[in-house]
Amino acid sequence: MSLQEPIRKVESARIELNRVAANTQGWSDGQRADFDNQRMKPLSDAGARMAAALMKAQEQCVAARRLLAE
């Protein structure tokens, strides 16, 4: 059992989303900033929370496996 792959997938997805968002600045700067704050930031933040929760779950599962191996 490993959550390494889901963790990697979430983190690479966040990096890619943030990269594209940074490289596609367009239309009115102010309007784009609003769009980024209202839509892109919550998406990216959700990924960060998910990665943190997956890492915590991974630690718990590793500890459980260690107990089973004793």
Residues forming contacts to another protein in the complex (CB under 8 A) are 1-3, 5-7, 9-10, 12-14, 16-17, 20-21, 23-28, 31-32, 34-35, 38-40, 42-43, 46-47, 49-50, 53-54, 56-57, 60-61, 63-65, 67-68, 70
What are the distances in angstroms from CA 19 to CA 30, 45, 69? 19, 14, 42
| Nearest-angstrom CA–CA distance, 1 and 58 | 9
